[in-house]
Amino acid sequence: MDGPIPHEIGNMTSLRFLYLYENALEGFIPSEIGGLTRLAFLSLYENSLEGSIPSEIGNLVELTHLAIRSNSWTGALPAELGNLTAIKYISMSENDLGGSLPTELGQLTALTQLWLRDNNFTEHIPSELGQLESLRELSLHYNNFSGSIPSEIGKLKALTSLRLYVNRLTGRIPTTLRELSGVQLFNLRHNQLTGPLPSEVGEMTALTGLYLYGNSLTGAIPSHLGRLTKLEVLRLEENLFNRTLPTQLAELVLLEQFRITDTFITGNLDPLFCTGDPSLPNPISIFTNNLTTCSCCQS
């Protein structure tokens, strides 16, 4: 199917499901789509649609799923998205959307997944996202967000995955993130974060993957990370950590990948780090540091 979406689509006022994904549709979304007030599912992903997202989409108050990724959308998100209080799933990744996120997104308290990766969003991540009490996945990576991570993110008690990597975020990692006790994936890599890694991260005991590399974190690696007994991947390289490596990390028996290259860790590596399964891929990578001895490090 190719060509534009016809304006007459707005006459289908009883429509509940509109699946037009993976076609060759082009042009704009007609504003008449706002007449589909009973629509629950709108899937337009993987087409060649362009232009801005019409504000009339805020009329779709029964919408639960909005999937419009992989098109050529531009402009800012309309504030009227805040009217979609029944929505559970939003996917707008892989477009050219930009500007700041509307604070009205904080009104979407039924939302469980928010995918906005691979766009050009800028400015601060709005603190109002902390009101999304049902949110399980927050994916804002590969954008141009700046400023600090809002402490209100720590209110997202249902969250299992937090992806904020490859942005321009600055400041410290907020200690309130310790409230995210259900988070399994925590990825803040390649930002401009500074200050120490808060020991409170050690309270995020559901973590299986912790990715903090490519920042400017300083000070000691907290021994509290040894409490993360489900951790499989720990990536701390390309930071400014110094002092010795806490021996508690050697107790993470599920750890398959541990990298801390290009930091300023000093001293001797405790032999406990070298008792793991040597068949695991890159079990420990600590070169380009100031360690005196390390019998199991890999480059």
pLDDT in tens, 153-208: 999 999 999 999 999 999 999 999 999 999 999 999 999 999 999 999 999 999 99
- pLDDT exceeds 70 at position 272: no
Residue 213 has pLDDT above 70, yes or no: yes
Domain that residue 200 falls in: 2-273
Q: Which helix (H) or strand (E) holds 290?
A: strand 290-291
Q: Is the pLDDT of residue 283 over 80?
A: no
- The amino acid at residue 123 is E
Decide: 121 and 101 in contact? Cβ < 8 Å.
yes
Tokens matching residue 124: 């601060």
Rounded Cα gap, residues 182 and 14, in angstroms = 39
| Domain presence at residue 280 | no
Average pLDDT for 12-31? 96
Residue at 279 is within a domain: no
Percent of the chain with pLDDT over 70: 89
- CATH code for position 138: 3.80.10.10
This prediction has a pTM of 0.92
**Pick from 274, 283, 296, 297: which is nearest to 254 by CA?**
283
Kindly indicate the confidence band of residue 293, based on its pLDDT and cuts at 50, 70 and 90. Answer: low
State pLDDT tens for residues 101-136: 999 999 999 999 999 999 999 999 999 999 999 999
In this predicted structure, the answer to whether residue 48 has a pLDDT above a threshold of 90 is yes
Q: Is the pLDDT of residue 269 over 80?
A: no
Asked if the model's pLDDT at residue 292 lies above 70, the reply is: no
**pLDDT tens per residue across span 225-254:** 999 999 999 999 999 998 788 889 988 999
Q: What pLDDT is recorded for position 240?
A: 94
Q: Give φ, ψ of 207 to 5 degrees.
A: -60, 130
Residue 284 covered by a domain: no
Q: Is the separation of the CB atoms in 84 and 108 below 8 Å?
A: yes
Inter-CA distances, 94 with 43, 70, 141, 225, Å: 15, 5, 11, 34
pLDDT(291) > 70: no
153 assigned to some structural domain: yes
Task: Indicate whether 11 belongs to any domain.
Answer: yes
Q: Mean pLDDT over residues 212-216, rounded?
A: 97
- Mean model confidence pLDDT for the chain: 91
In a domain, residue 282? The reply is no
The average pLDDT across 19-43 equals 96
Tell me the pLDDT tens digit for each residue of 51-100. Answer: 999 999 999 999 999 999 999 999 999 999 999 999 999 999 999 999 99
User: Would you say residue 285 lies in a domain?
Assistant: no
- Domain tally for the chain? 1
- pLDDT band (50, 70, 90) for residue 2: confident
How many residues are recorded in the chain?
299
Residue at 231 is within a domain: yes
